Amino acid sequence: MPTYSIGLDFGTESVRALLVDVATGEAVATAVEAYSDGVIDERLPGSTNRLPPDWALQNPADWLTGLERTIAAVLAQSRIDPSTVAGIGLDFTSCTVLPARADGTPLCEIPAFRGERHAWPKLWKHHGAQAQADRVTAHAAARGEKWLARYGGRISSEWLLPKALEIAEEAADLFEAADRFVEGADWVVWRLTDTLARNACAAGYKGTWHKQEGDPSHDFLAGLRPGFEALYASKVPRDVVSPGTAVGHLTPAWAERLHLPVATAVAAPIIDAHAAVLGGGVAGPGTFVMMMGTSTCHLLLADAERPVEGMAGVVEDGIVPGYFAYESGQAAVGDLFAWYAQHAVPPAYHAAAAKEALSVQAQLTSKAEGMGPGSSGLLVLDWWQGNRSTLGRSDLSGLIVGATLSTRPEEIFHALVEATAFGTRAIVESYTDQALPVSSIVAGGGLTRNAMLMQIYADVTGRQIAVAGAPQASALGAAMLGAVAAGARRGGHDALTDAVARMAPGPARLYEPIEANRRHYDLLYREYKRLYDYFGRGGSEVMRTLRGMRRRM
Amino acid sequence: MPTYSIGLDFGTESVRALLVDVATGEAVATAVEAYSDGVIDERLPGSTNRLPPDWALQNPADWLTGLERTIAAVLAQSRIDPSTVAGIGLDFTSCTVLPARADGTPLCEIPAFRGERHAWPKLWKHHGAQAQADRVTAHAAARGEKWLARYGGRISSEWLLPKALEIAEEAADLFEAADRFVEGADWVVWRLTDTLARNACAAGYKGTWHKQEGDPSHDFLAGLRPGFEALYASKVPRDVVSPGTAVGHLTPAWAERLHLPVATAVAAPIIDAHAAVLGGGVAGPGTFVMMMGTSTCHLLLADAERPVEGMAGVVEDGIVPGYFAYESGQAAVGDLFAWYAQHAVPPAYHAAAAKEALSVQAQLTSKAEGMGPGSSGLLVLDWWQGNRSTLGRSDLSGLIVGATLSTRPEEIFHALVEATAFGTRAIVESYTDQALPVSSIVAGGGLTRNAMLMQIYADVTGRQIAVAGAPQASALGAAMLGAVAAGARRGGHDALTDAVARMAPGPARLYEPIEANRRHYDLLYREYKRLYDYFGRGGSEVMRTLRGMRRRM
């Protein structure tokens, strides 16, 4: 009789459950439940006060309701014997963090605090802590904290330290009342198992934790604000566990509520994008993973920790125990194409798209198909949101060169696609320059549906690209963690790599570099890199100057 | 009783007559007649054979019919006594050139040649002689001909030498049969007066003539093609006359046909754009004239001949006897805005424009009004058609830097307008760098209707801009030449400057630089010039490389 694992994928708007056969990875059933309160960015539930701009909260009750309903749904759909469910794994947006009491009660569920906005979980895209983030970065730079380089020299407002400091500064009583600051993923596991641990993935990428060096020092935190050292001293869980480690088993109450055995193992969770590495079939060095959506997240496993230019983070045991997991990113990819389609494509193209029931981007793609490398005569620097990866500069901006009166929209679109591929190649080279091998690429996310784009990426990077075969790669990755937690006595590296090898489907599609195109793109990439160095490394500071003039006017 | 002059403005599609009071410049009547055969670019009249692409011819009979009908119309409208018409002046597109017999018969009117396409007048925008132009330029460069520098180092395919060489090479019998190669303007004057002369304006700008040095040498022409030296030896008129010189009086036959006195003086003509300098009220140094349309033509009078960077030509006596008239140009101005409106503005802006019955450019302008210098965060190099003025390079292309996801169409449009103003400032500085003064600016052409654009030009150049008051500045300039030819016994400098002072209306509008904007634009122009030098003077050859890749794909 088969054994099953349930992967729970907690996204921004909803949670998905995926019931998977542990032996084969076959997806037996799936269900999605939207959060009742969704993203709370206007008013707290039951309140009429408007939240400040840039705020984004969630209701932790939605997470529990969502997992209960989706698990019930996949059990009902599949009609399997619930006693054959051996494990549960979770992936989660991050850094989505909440203050809680020592018994796990979120502060927002305590009546006295329910109307306090700082009592609620701050969603990953809560941007209210930008001032705190800037101060954390500046303070770390001033003290020469060496961990700053692991994050490309910049602490994001989305991460733990700024979000916790925002509470400490703006709601000191709540900071005081919070016995724990917990990632949403860890809080759900805490609820299910009555055991609190800190997952290494979120801790490392978003919580400034390092396996050898631990957390930032008491002195560093006290220097930010007297008393803030309490954060790591007592409020953040001390027990850090790598993804797939069995944190515990379902409590009797939760076993009953979910109609699952109390023996069901619950795995240490993982960040959603990182779960897709596993679901995409990657569990070892040499394969570069791209999750391509509005922005692109790049992940690479390697044997060693090295100073990769502009990386967003590197975490030992962050994805697969025993490996260092590197993360980089391109801030505007799908967002850049969407900007172009919305703000710079003329009516005739919109009309043609509507007539053929295509998106404008699909229409542009159909007109651009068959264009060769450089045939637009255009070259683009894809820095519409700055370059936060290899160059680590948010003050850069987009550039288009080569326009003539005969330039047409599909040519601009083609050049924008090429530019994002060049940006990816620059990131790949930031790894290979450090002798971290990248022999092939696995891609996931919405943009993989664009075959022209994928071929350009293969031609530009000169590497085979496999489109991940699992339609729900993150949920599958989470289910793999559940399988490992259930099955492996020793847990860890081998169990997870075995699970990935066994449970990941083959690629949906393969794109091989076309040799003639690759050679042309080598020439064009050389030109791209010249512009990249000139505008990105101090040859010209015009982008920074223009941003400054724009702010001042 | 007042005395009148008729200005005839021969354009690309039609001829206009303007009847003007010689004492005041008041326009009494005007009429326009379209050419029956228009621009002949598909088939010769009466033929079914298609012309090659890039060909553009005219029918000389249309010029005569047009002048006859428009003069009849202005006489009828005004009801003046025809005997009070003292002079006729002409301006004409150039280089529009035709082969003719010694008696003035165009070859295309000789039945044996009527079916030969090379027998017809080649309109200024005939581009069939590009290969010949390239060879003329290369041959002149190889021989170190110093006159090449006067034309920015490049002989255009639109000019006399390439057009005549095209005939010599492709229809040797016609070259042989042509006793004369004549500008259309000179041919019309020849017909009206039975006197053939070569006007200094077209001869200098389009015919490689120089007052001191004459024409290119026998050796140079023979080196292009044996026998081609006949062009300047016998076929091009030897008598060069400056604008406003009386070439002669109406022949009795033409006087009768036009119902005008035989005493009516006919002036040496001028190129149409150059006539607008006079009609715009400029007859001396220090005032920079811009004719702003699809492209912009810049003209400046000065006391001396100096090596101005990238000028399109400098001709002594070319506009006003006694002065050197310099010409520069920006290849894409209105064309650039039109390209943008057509190919890169989204549907919402087109819909809003239609709703308000505005052009898309007017709609963009209304949204961009009030934006300060640099407030778009964008900077543009306006080289969509290369930079044929100061840099003299057709292999350059357009560049936009500073784009972000919040960039909107009106910001791009504003930056495009700023860029063309920066291009103009670079041209102004190419004169002032040679100690040729530019103290103010007079502007004409369609773009002067855009007040936002005009203010930006004033702010960027730091100079007052007067919009020419005459709605038909070229026709008025031509009428001034007719007045001078009629009245001045000695002709020349003083008579023409007097006529301009007396007959030009005051400016329609004045734009003064706004000091705060000027200072901001000084900063932004410095950034523009850095990019200009980097991409235009060898810092980066990426524009040339991209054009090369585009051609090869």
pLDDT digits (tens, 9 = 90+) for A367-422: 999 999 999 999 999 999 999 888 988 899 999 999 999 999 999 999 999 999 99
Residue A490 has pLDDT above 70, yes or no: no
Give the distance from residue A123's alpha carbon to the nearest chain B alpha carbon, in angstroms: 23
Residue A295, classified by CB atoms within 10 Å of its CB into exposed (0-12), middle (13-18) or buried (19+), is middle
The mean of the pLDDT values for chain A is 96
Query: Which residues of chain A neighbour B350 with C-beta distances below 8 Å?
Result: 346-347
Query: Which of B335, B372, B397 is opposite residue A401, by nearest beta carbon?
Result: B397
Query: Which residues of chain B neighbour A542 with C-beta distances below 8 Å?
Result: 379, 401-402, 527, 530-531
If residue B439 lies in a helix (H) or strand (E), which one and from where to where? Answer: strand B438-444
Residue B542 has pLDDT above 60, yes or no: yes
Q: Are B251 and B188 in contact (CB under 8 A)?
A: no
Query: Which of B374, B398, B409 is opposite residue A546, by nearest beta carbon?
Result: B374
Q: Are A372 and A520 in contact (CB under 8 A)?
A: yes
Q: Are A273 and A474 in contact (CB under 8 A)?
A: yes
Q: Are B8 and B90 in contact (CB under 8 A)?
A: yes
Q: How many Å apart are CA A274 and CA A323, to the nearest integer?
A: 13
Residue B415: closest C-alpha in chain A? A546
Residue type, B198: R
Query: Which residues of chain A neighbour B342 with C-beta distances below 8 Å?
Result: 346
Identify the CA nearest to B133 among candidates B159, B102, B113: B159
Interchain proximity A345–B342, CB inside 8 Å: no
Q: What is the Cα Rg of chain B in Å?
A: 24
Residue B553 has pLDDT above 90, yes or no: no
Instruction: Indicate whether this complex's ipTM tops 0.95.
Output: no
Interchain proximity A550–B374, CB inside 8 Å: yes
Residue B491 has pLDDT above 90, yes or no: no
User: B91 CB contacts (<8 Å, ≥6 apart)?
Assistant: B7, B8, B9, B10, B185, B269, B270, B271, B272, B274, B275, B474, B475, B477, B478, B481
Cα→Cα distances A392→A301, A530, B72, Å: 21, 17, 74
pLDDT, one tens digit per residue, over B415-459 is: 999 999 999 999 999 999 999 999 999 999 999 999 999 999 999
Beta bridge partners of A502: none
Report cis status (omega within 30 of 0) of the bond before A201.
no
Identify the CA nearest to A276 among candidates A536, A530, A467, A405: A467
Q: How many Å apart are CA A490 and CA A484, to the nearest integer?
A: 10
* Strands in B293-354 per DSSP E: 296-302, 313-316, 324-330
Identify the CA nearest to B510 among candidates B451, B461, B470: B451
Give the distance from residue B265's alpha carbon to the nearest chain A alpha carbon, in angstroms: 45
Q: Is A32 helix (H, G, I), strand (E, B) or coil?
A: strand
Q: What is the DSSP letter of A549?
A: H
Q: Among residues of chain B, what percentage have pLDDT more than 70?
A: 99
pLDDT, one tens digit per residue, over B244-283 is: 999 999 999 999 999 999 999 999 999 999 999 999 999 9
CA A172 to chain centre: 30
Residue A542: closest C-alpha in chain B? B527
pTM to 2 decimal places: 0.91
If residue A100 lies in a helix (H) or strand (E), which one and from where to where? Answer: strand A97-100
Q: How many Å apart are CA A531 and CA A191, to the nearest integer?
A: 52
Q: How many Å apart are CA A124 and CA A157, to the nearest integer?
A: 9
For residue B492, the model assigns a pLDDT of 77
Q: How many CB pairs under 8 A join A and B?
A: 166
Reported residue count of chain B is 553
Interchain proximity B546–A379, CB inside 8 Å: yes
The mean of the pLDDT values for chain B is 96
* Strands in A223-307 per DSSP E: 240-241, 246-249, 265-267, 270-271, 286-292, 296-302
Identify the CA nearest to B211 among candidates B95, B289, B325, B327: B325
CA A390 to chain centre: 17
Query: Which of A339, A531, A550 is opposite residue B405, by nearest beta carbon?
Result: A339
Interchain proximity A397–B408, CB inside 8 Å: no
Q: Are A313 and A327 in contact (CB under 8 A)?
A: yes
- Quickly tell me which residue has 């370059």 as its tokens: A387
pLDDT, one tens digit per residue, over B289-329 is: 999 999 999 999 999 999 999 899 999 999 999 999 999 99
User: A202 CB contacts (<8 Å, ≥6 apart)?
Assistant: A92, A94, A95, A183, A185, A186, A269, A270, A271
pLDDT, one tens digit per residue, over A122-161 is: 999 999 999 999 999 999 999 999 999 999 899 999 999 9
Q: How confident is the model at residue B551 (pLDDT cuts 50, 70, 90)?
A: confident
Cα→Cα distances A34→A11, A102, B113, B191, B316, Å: 9, 29, 83, 87, 80
Pairing of strands A313-316, A14-21: unpaired
- What number is the average pLDDT over the span A534-541? 95
Q: How many Å apart are CA B187 and CA B101, to the nearest integer?
A: 11
The most distant pair of C-alpha atoms in chain A lies apart, rounded to whole Å, by: 72
For residue A2, the model assigns a pLDDT of 83
Query: Which residues of chain B neighbour A530 with C-beta distances below 8 Å?
Result: 540, 542
Q: Which of A481-490, B118-127, B199-208, B523-532 has the lowest mean pLDDT?
A: A481-490
Give the distance from residue A290's alpha carbon to the nearest chain B alpha carbon, in angstroms: 22
Residue B264 backbone dihedrals phi, psi, to 5 degrees? -60, 120
Interchain proximity A405–B384, CB inside 8 Å: yes
Interchain proximity A527–B542, CB inside 8 Å: yes
Query: Which of A385, A409, A547 is opposite residue B343, by nearest beta carbon?
Result: A409
For residue B465, the model assigns a pLDDT of 98
Q: How many Å apart are CA B449 and CA B456, to the nearest integer?
A: 13
Q: How confident is the model at residue B493 (pLDDT cuts 50, 70, 90)?
A: confident
Reported residue count of chain A is 553
Q: Among residues of chain B, what percentage have pLDDT more than 90?
A: 93
